[in-house]
A and B are shown apart, each in its own frame.
Chain A
């Protein structure tokens, strides 16, 4: 049948299918069909095609879609506020055009909020604030700027408001404990013994990495009875026993600032055994108020004339060694990775290639990312190695072009960024990509026999879908059709039968290659496709024991963020939760934060523990709690604490802060 000749008929047919054909038209069409067998066949095909299209089940939106949309709307609202403040009354948009039927929308919205519908919208202004409820007492320490100086605060929290309601009455303000003189920080990281690494500037404005040993004036120094279930690790970690947080409260990881590179690292305060995490902090003891005298701490420079690179500095899980990467402040050379241990005068470099970035710790080994721009085609590729700091031996990770992987402290999972790297002003920068979570046990080159990989051997990775970086690695949409066809055949999860073959697979190399097919799943439970992973055997004696409830093996990497080029990932010290902060495009240090559980069979991308909130880059993740700074329009911020788990679920505002920067909490 010629479409041209039959076009009038086709139009009639379409109109009838859509119920837009009047009686005259129907009669005309029927006459045509009666005389035209091929037209009847076409009509039949149209109906079949329609049914086939309708039979395809719709994709389900990711669970965090509202959270991310809400955060984006918040930014719009904030922009509007700025417009209103900065412009004459009336704003930049026309007004008065819509007055019809809005009331019904509002009413519906309010009903929803009251009825607890799934959307849980933020209540429009003017509604009553949420009612706080009691939770197990939490002891929180944090650092903020006050009067131009860094000050360590302490606060006790005993009640929060229900989640997603950020109109809660203020919580405790916190008391100043220690002032940190002589240095301004962009990044801070603390270990179990109260040693705080600061990277920032000294009094003279020079870039410096310095250690501040907090004095024993910490008001939390009073030993507290620990009513939590026996937890030897928790009660014995901190030798000085000067921090009830060691025994009573889930530590929150100190964080860095908006000006720093993406960060990573395990919790730094008293490491609590995984068993301890079962009890977040159901402690009823309230820490005594701080001494009215605010002590002053001084700093010890350990590296000068450099600026931080790579992920944020992090203490090893056992708290004995600090790792970070830095480059000369004048950028005369590239970045190298440094270690420092208490007692050392200076940090010492463990790389000398001027192209290494600290990514995270994997047990007592250091995970390093390097970028290689030497390819003839100009592509920048990434390589990840795990380095034994004692012997210097480095083993490559089959992570394809994964960047700055953050290994969880229990060694089960890793979150890494995969996307397009670009060279800019002599530096390699992430351009566009996503964060993925994958099974680290199948990747750790020190874990299995495949670790015979040579020191300098490039990651040969390459699962069938090991995507070509130039195929639009950051842009799934740009993947050529023929490559993407592979993505339609995402392998099923490795079955138990695959376990026996895991080593063999591992020796073949690639176990995880972030594939853009990942994008065919919502971020919440995004599967990435083709890349398969091994099913690591749990018997390898060289491996740190997994968390007690960790039989689950993540079969393939899962996307855990939308597109981003600015991010921070942190794991809780028990590896049960990780927080992902992603920067807001065009903004420095502002973005959104979400906390997920470690992957489980039921939630391979992790359950959302704290829904997306607007946050500055600084945040501290502890056991079943997180502290973050909510940016305010005036450039200041509010420190918030969110808790989850058996101890209660909710959030509370602690203190207004003069800056979004340098607010680690723990």
Chain B
């Protein structure tokens, strides 16, 4: 192994230590398949090793990793056309939450999952990266592999698409109206 490759290996190992959990969580959210997410997390870091030279600025390594993970996820989604609903697994492991909390959370998240499923993949990708993984500005653009303006547009459309999709879900459920959501969910306006 040459010195460069040894360096690449060491860098990727360090990046794995720092970011594997969030990359995995991101992929699990995108794919809603934990085992597949694990496979693709592995793929992401292998690709990072291969593409090591393309990391021009180490301070942007996180966004760079998300870019690789994002492409990996979208490729997989295109290939497989995932359409099913799998729980976002974290919620099922909440041993410390009350049964009521768990039930409420399960209902909300199931609704959220279906809504997220209903919106275009790229918008969903932008939303997850921005809202959950807190990528902003150029970071988000880099991870999405688009311009800053395009990233903002994706996010904007994604938020609106999600809002409308949630409204549809609630209409399907037939029990809740948009105006009631905050109080129903026990979530205060932030």
Contact = CB atoms under 8 A, between A and B. Distances in A.
Contact of A105 (B14, B24, B89, B152): B14
A66 B90 contact: no
B25 A125 contact: no
A94 B4 CA distance: 10
Given A51-B187, A97-B53, A488-B85, A14 B131 contact: no
B46 A18 contact: no
Nearest to A102: B7
B59 A563 contact: no
B5 to A, nearest CB: 5
Q: How large is the interface on A (under 10, 10 to 19, 20 to 34, 35 or more residues)?
A: 35 or more
A449 interface: no
Contacts of B41: 61, 65, 69
A73 B86 contact: no
A377 interface: no
Given A518-B35, A520-B89, A11 B2 contact: no
Nearest to B35: A519
Interface centre among A57, A77, A100, A101 (most CB of B within 10 A): A57
A480 B82 CA distance: 8
A526 B38 CA distance: 11
Given A18-B155, A49-B163, A488-B87, A121 B38 contact: no
A118 B54 CA distance: 28
Given A66-B16, A68-B42, A106-B7, A44 B189 contact: yes
Interface string A89-106: 001011101101110111
Given A14-B156, A48-B185, A94-B53, A125 B36 contact: no
Contacts of B105: 55-56
Given A73-B46, A119-B13, A484-B85, A50 B131 contact: yes
A7 B152 CA distance: 12
Nearest to B83: A481
A70 B128 CA distance: 27
B163 A45 contact: yes
Contacts of B14: 105-106, 108-109, 112, 121
Nearest to A124: B10
A523 to B, nearest CB: 6
Contacts of A108: 14
B130 interface: yes
B156 A11 contact: yes
Q: Is the interface of B mostly helix, strand, loop or mixed?
A: helix
Interface centre among B36, B152, B156 (most CB of A within 10 A): B156
Interface string A475-498: 111111111110110100000000
Interface string B61-98: 00000000000000010001111111111111110000
B181 interface: yes
Q: Is the interface of A mostly helix, strand, loop or mixed?
A: helix
B122 interface: no
A77 B5 contact: yes
B144 interface: no
Interface string B13-27: 111110011101100
A24 to B, nearest CB: 16
B13 A48 contact: no
A114 to B, nearest CB: 14
Contacts of B137: 18, 20
Nearest to B88: A56
A644 interface: no
B54 A105 contact: no
Interface string A1-21: 001000100110111011110
B35 A559 contact: yes
Interface of B: 1-2, 4-7, 9-17, 20-22, 24-25, 28-29, 31-39, 41-43, 45-46, 49-50, 52-59, 76, 80-94, 105, 108-110, 112, 117, 127-128, 130-132, 136-137, 152-153, 155-156, 159-160, 162-164, 166, 178-179, 181-182, 185, 187, 189-190
Nearest 3 pairs between A and B by C-beta?
Answer: A484-B84, A57-B90, A58-B25
17 contacts: A3-B160, A48-B189, A50-B131, A52-B112, A69-B20, A69-B42, A72-B43, A73-B12, A76-B50, A80-B5, A84-B1, A98-B53, A101-B58, A105-B58, A109-B14, A477-B76, A478-B80
Interface of A: 3, 7, 10-11, 13-15, 17-20, 41-42, 44-62, 65-66, 68-70, 72-73, 76-77, 80-81, 84, 91, 93-95, 97-98, 100-102, 104-106, 108-109, 112, 117-119, 121-122, 124-125, 434, 475-485, 487-488, 490, 517-523, 526, 559, 562-563
Given A52-B108, A53-B127, A72-B46, 7 more contacts: A10-B160, A48-B187, A49-B166, A53-B132, A476-B36, A477-B33, A481-B83
